[in-house]
């Protein structure tokens, strides 16, 4: 026989606060789910889409087609940034293996020796297969007494000009970035012609991806960051790039640890540059105002000792889109150093100053500082490209 009182909880009065807290939890959860669904819907609704696309070019690098797809640019010009590499067509600096393209920076001293790079004694080096129209960019003379050096790095720069270009569409590149101090990998585009708007940056530049090979500890965004941007402006010293750029960072790994997909989407309404997913975008720009207005350029500029009225160089182009209303071709390269500010002075033990007349020789003389940061295996310091695809709006 049971003795004592029997508990009957259903007979007790309910705790109203406990009941209220119970329903509040469910209400908050419901509001969270509903809010997320509404946000997803309106994000999808307002996302601009390209429209129908037709494949123009696809290269999975079963071979290295330098006749019908890619062209080497061979020069010691510094390419406007006073870069410290020479671009070659040597198989040491660009080659295809196992279905992947490798663009590899190498040390010039491994080919001609350190003394020749520094000019002890003076040494003349002419680059083979030079494609530069200016013959002075096809060779260099080193001299230790004047600190003139041969470019201390050899690398490669290839493009699709004359083969493939698009005006509005999509570009998709699967690539793994190089690691090493002062390396500057880039996937970018230039206009097929500058006859409509004029020389750079009037005719525009599209940077799908740029990065720096310095490690994550580098304070000016190293290899754990990638950046997308547009260059445009009336003059080289009056560039609106600061108004049209952005970046994405990989907080767990670097972009040299694995392959990522870098994408450009572009039509008359918008331009979008992202890595791997539209959610991880570097730059998203709506063409909702003229670029001349977007730049906020001054009405009058100095031209030597004279002052001239600044006019809109894109007034005869597509409204709000010019200069990005024309065909652009693709470029892939690995640069090294330079004096245009991509590597800021005073950051990361930078061994040269941008304003120095001896910037490249200062860099070359500090080879023992930066060369050890480059992986010994050339393929680990290469820009490795798995595939390239280009679509045009149909």
Catalytic residue numbers, as ranges = 205, 210
E strand segments, 212-253: 225-231, 245-249
3-state DSSP percent of the chain in helix, strand and coil, to 5: 20, 30, 50
Q: Residue-wise over 176-209: b if at least 16 C-beta within 10 A, else e?
A: bbbbbbbbbbbbbbbbbebebbeebbbbbbbbbb
Choose among 275, 305, 306, 271: nearest CA to 291: 271
- Cα–Cα distance for residue pair 354/247, rounded to 1 Å: 23
Tokens at 91, concatenated? 């198989």
Contact call for residues 103 and 175 (beta carbons, < 8 A): no
Quote the DSSP letter at residue 31. H
Per the CB < 8 A criterion, the answer to whether 359 and 198 are in contact is no
| Beta pairing partners, 332 | 158, 187
């Amino acid at each position: 026989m049971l003795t004592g009182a029997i508990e009957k909880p259903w007979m007790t009065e309910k705790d109203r606060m406990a009941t209220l807290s119970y329903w509040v939890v469910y209400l908050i959860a419901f509001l969270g789910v509903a809010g997320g669904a509404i946000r997803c819907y309106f994000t999808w609704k307002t996302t601009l889409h390209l429209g129908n696309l037709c494949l123009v070019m696809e290269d999975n690098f079963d071979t290295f087609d330098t006749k019908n797809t890619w062209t080497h640019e061979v020069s010691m010009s510094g390419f406007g940034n006073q870069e410290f590499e020479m671009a070659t067509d040597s198989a040491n600096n660009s080659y295809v293996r196992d279905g992947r393209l490798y663009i590899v920076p190498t040390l010039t001293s491994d080919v001609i020796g350190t003394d020749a790079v520094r000019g002890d004694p003076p040494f003349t080096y002419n680059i083979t297969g030079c494609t530069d129209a200016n013959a002075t960019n096809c060779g260099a003379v080193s001299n230790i007494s004047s600190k003139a050096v041969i470019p201390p790095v050899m690398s490669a720069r290839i493009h699709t000009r004359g083969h493939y270009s698009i005006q509005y569409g999509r570009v998709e590149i699967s690539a793994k970035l190089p690691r090493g101090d002062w390396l500057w990998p880039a996937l970018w585009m230039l206009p097929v012609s500058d006859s409509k708007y004029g020389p750079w940056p009037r005719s525009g530049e599209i940077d799908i991806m740029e990065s720096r090979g310095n490690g994550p500890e580098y304070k000016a965004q190293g290899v754990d960051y990638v950046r997308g941007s547009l260059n445009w402006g009336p003059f080289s010293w009056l560039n609106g790039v600061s108004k049209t750029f952005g970046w994405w960072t990989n907080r767990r790994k670097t972009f040299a640890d694995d392959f990522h997909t870098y994408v450009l989407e572009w039509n008359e309404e918008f331009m979008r540059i992202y890595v791997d997913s539209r959610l991880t975008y570097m730059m998203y720009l709506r063409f909702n105002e003229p670029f001349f207005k977007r730049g906020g350029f001054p009405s009058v500029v100095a031209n030597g000792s004279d002052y001239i009225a600044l006019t809109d160089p894109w007034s005869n182009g597509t409204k709000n889109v010019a200069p990005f209303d024309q065909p652009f071709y693709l470029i892939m390269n690995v640069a090294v150093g330079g004096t245009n500010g991509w590597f800021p002075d005073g950051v990361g033990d930078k061994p040269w100053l941008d304003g120095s007349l001896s910037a490249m020789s200062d860099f070359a003389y500090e080879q023992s500082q930066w060369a050890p940061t480059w992986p010994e295996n050339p393929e680990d310091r290469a820009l490795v490209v798995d595939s390239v695809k280009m679509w045009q709006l149909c």
